[in-house]
Amino acid sequence: MLHDLKSLLGDAMSRNRISREVGIAQTLVAANETVAKLLPPGRTGDARAVSLREGVLTVGCLNAPASNFIAGKSAEILKAIVRRVPNANVLKIRTTIVTSFEQGV
């Protein structure tokens, strides 16, 4: 009996209880791509989604102008995330100033 890959992947994720983590990763990727598209040319590396906890997406920003920009675009960012990841549990966006982005984040 043949099964499609999508159903097998969903079953494997459920068995291993990683569905939540995969959803968070998908949401962070969608947020990062959206943020990079919205930021002005040459400034796309100034902000990055760093975490999603209890419905709050935290976006790290290298400077105050990027933080203000992201805060002002939060509704647009939320809509874009939900379009890309319909089951994303993002209720609001919080920005924080960071000195750098750690490798792998």
Q: How many domains does the chain have?
A: 1
**Residue 102 confidence (pLDDT):** 75
Tokens of 79: 């809509």
**Residue 19 confidence (pLDDT):** 79
| pLDDT tens for the 105 residues of the chain, in order | 555 655 656 566 555 567 788 889 999 999 999 999 999 999 999 999 999 999 999 999 999 999 999 999 999 999 999 999 998 989 999 999 999 987 544
**Residue 101 confidence (pLDDT):** 86
Q: 53: which strand partners? A: 56
43 occurs within a structural domain: yes
Query: Could you tell me the CATH number of the domain that includes residue 54?
Result: 3.30.300.180
Q: What is the DSSP string of 31-71?
A: HHHHHHHHSPTT-GGGEEEEEEETTEEEEEESSHHHHHHHH
pTM of the complete model beyond 0.85 = no
102 occurs within a structural domain: no
